[in-house]
Each structure stands twice: as structure tokens, then as C-alpha cells.
Amino acid sequence: MNNIGAGITIIGCGSAAPQNKLTNVHLSEIVETSDEWINSRTGMRTRHISNKTESLSQLAADAAQRAIADANLSPTDIDLIVLATSTPDDLFGSASKVQSLVGATRAVAFDLTAACSGFVFALITASQFIRTGVYQNVVVIGADILSRWVDWSDRTTCVLFGDGAGAIVCQASQNSDRLLAFEMHSDGSQNACLNLPYQSQSKSLVPGITTQYGTYKPVTMNGREVYRFAVAKVPEAIEKAMFRAGLVVEDIDWLLLHQANQRIMDAVAKRLKLPPEKILSNIAEHGNTSAASIPLALDAALKEGKVKAGDTIATAGFGAGLTWSAAIFQWG
Ligand code: UT7
């Protein structure tokens, strides 16, 4: 530990999405819905859906490799990979597989599960390893394939979710600290609002001992409750983080929220008194990609030349748990 108290810089970003795009019109052939309903209620038009060959590990590895290249580093420079996902290829975790696919042979890797808050939770977790001087170069990935776990006959959920992965590279710095503040929260009393629950079957092993084996039920969500929760809690968390960072709303260049619903992004911006032009959104193309949505939207904004070095970004994740989190950081 020779770097205690190091600052954090965020120096690379990359993303990956499956090739196939499912449109609102496609969805109207599957369930009783319409392009008009989906677009007016959510802002979504398409979402990318994984095929048989596009695994969670491969999408995450592709995003990570692009982020590492963007940071001008080699995979062997990476010390730690934190993979935020709720949909690993393997319930034991997919991070080690990602480490191997990326060729980050020196890195330790682990999964972190916090649903749609996962990416911000993972960024904050990664930052602790940097601040304590343990690691120099850390890759934070958000990746999810929720299309595996939605009920394709339930129009209240199946129209919302898409698949993808995004990644950033965080680096220790003695000269600057670009992660200005953060907030993290959980409220398990509202757990039933959004679930992907285990579903067991009883199997008798020997007299008196029965095991519960099984699979998972598809995603269930009380959309209205989660909507209300997000619009109430997210602005509060961002305001607290801004206060800790000593910033006022005029200091924020971009609002980068979990891409769950365009109406949520608009409502949060309004509460914060941020003009709509400062919202970063790619929900029309990707829908809700859970842990991937924030780095996917960041990568798109960087490629479009919107986000520039030194820009101050207020980000927030929210979702199942329920969990919510905010972070204020500067790019580059
Ligand atoms: O990523 C995790 C965090 N997730 C979120 O933040 C999601 C938060 N929630 C939402 O974004 C919104 O609540 C939804 C987009 C999920 C739903 O929008 P809403 O405006 O809250 O609609 P609603 O649930 O109040 O439903 C309104 C109507 C209902 O019909 P009735 O009961 O009024 O007759 C639904 O049955 O719309 C109906 N409906 C649909 N109609 C056409 C629900 N889904 C659909 C659909 N197509 N896909």
C-alpha cells in the first residue's frame, strides 16, 4: 500500500450491444401494445436483444476491452475488475470469465449484484480500492441480459428491457480526484416492488430431508410504485452528493441517469432545475439495460462529442432492492 489517499480519475470508456434490434412494432406482434404507447410512456423505440452466441461474459469483455484501449492501457495493466450484473452466465459469477476473455491476467475479478444501481455501486466500490492505495487501474463494468428473464407474454415488463454492456477504467492519481462525492441507499421494505425471484421445487432426498431446487421466475415490477420511488429519491440523492462536493446545480454539465424511462429523467431534471438539454439519454435505442444503461449512455455521449474532458457529470442508478445511488464525477 504505497498510494493511500489517491484520487480517482476516469480515463476510458467502452460499450457493447447485441446485434439484433427489437422494435416497438415487433413487440406489438408479440403482446397487446403499440409503438405509440411504448414511446409516449417511456421514450423507447428499440432495444438490442442477445442471441444464442452473445453471452453476458462476452458482451462485458467486449465493453471492457474497448474501455481499456480507450484509456491507452493494456489488459495486463488492470489490477481489479468489478462486474455489476444481475444476469451472469453462471450463478457463481461471470467476472472471472470476463477477466480471462479480456486477457487481464494480473487482475482479480468479482461480480457485484445491485440490479439497476449496480454500475454506480460498482464505481463506488472500485474507488475504495483506489483510495486505500491497494489498486491502480480498475475496470468497472455494468452488463445485463434481462431478455433472458422477462416474461415475453407480460406487456407491462417485456417492452421495457434490452441487453448490453458498458465499462469504464478508473485510475489512481496523486494530482487530481475526479470522483467528487457519492450517495448509496437501500430500502428492503420495498423489495416486493421489483423482483426476479427464485422458484423452487421440492425434491425428497431421504426421509425427513427435502431439498429445494429450481430456477428463477421472470421479472415482476410494480411500475407505478417504482416510478414514484425514483422521482422522489433520485433528486434527493443527487442533491446530497452535490452538497458534499460543494457544488450547485449550475456546476453540473450533464445528468446521466439510469435509463429506465425518459419521463423519469425529465422529472428528475425538472426537480433539480436542470435544463432538459443537459440530460444524457440513449433510451430510444437501448431501452432499459439495467446495470449497463449508465456506461452505455456515457459511451454514446463521448462518441458524439457531447461529454468533454473536465465536464462534471451527476449520475444516479435506481431499481430493485430497492436501491438507489448517486455520484458526481468529472470525465477525463
Ligand atoms: O430499471 C428499474 C427501475 N424501473 C423503473 O424505473 C420503471 C418505473 N416505471 C415506469 O417507468 C412506468 O411505470 C411504466 C413504463 C412501467 C408504466 O407506465 P405507466 O404510465 O406507469 O403505466 P401504468 O402501469 O400506470 O399503466 C397504464 C395502463 C394500464 O391500463 P389500465 O389499467 O389503465 O387500463 C396498463 O395495463 O397502460 C397499460 N399498459 C400497457 N398498454 C399498452 C401497461 N403496459 C402496456 C403496454 N402497452 N406495454
User: For 150-190, what is each residue's pLDDT tens digit?
Assistant: 999 999 999 999 999 999 999 999 999 999 999 999 999 99
pLDDT at 115: 97
Ligand 1 interacting residues, C-beta cut-off 6 A? 33, 37-38, 41-42, 116, 155-156, 159, 223-224, 226-227, 230, 260-261, 264, 288, 319
Looking at the structure, tell me whether residues 134 and 57 fall in a common domain: yes
Q: Which atom of ligand 1 is nearest to the CA of 27?
A: 48
What's the CA-to-centroid distance between 152 and ligand 1, angstroms?
A: 15
- Give the span between the Cα atoms of 176 and 62, in whole angstroms: 29
The pTM of the whole model exceeds 0.95: yes
- Give the span between the Cα atoms of 212 and 214, in whole angstroms: 7
DSSP class of residue 218 equals: P
pLDDT at 2: 64
What's the total number of domains in the chain?
2
Calculate mean pLDDT across residues 299-323: 97
Looking at the structure, tell me whether residues 154 and 294 fall in a common domain: no
Which three cell numbers mark 152? 415475453
Tens-digit pLDDT profile for residues 32-88? 999 999 999 999 999 999 999 999 999 999 999 999 999 999 999 999 999 999 999
CATH code of the domain covering residue 275: 3.40.47.10
Looking at the structure, tell me whether residues 145 and 184 fall in a common domain: no
Looking at the structure, tell me whether residues 67 and 169 fall in a common domain: yes
Residue 255 domain-assigned? yes
Tens-digit pLDDT profile for residues 104-163? 999 999 999 999 999 999 999 999 999 999 999 999 999 999 999 999 999 999 999 999
| Structural domain for 112, as ranges | 7-177
Which three cell numbers mark 292? 449497463
Looking at the structure, tell me whether residues 305 and 161 fall in a common domain: no
User: DSSP for 319-330?
Assistant: ETTTEEEEEEEE
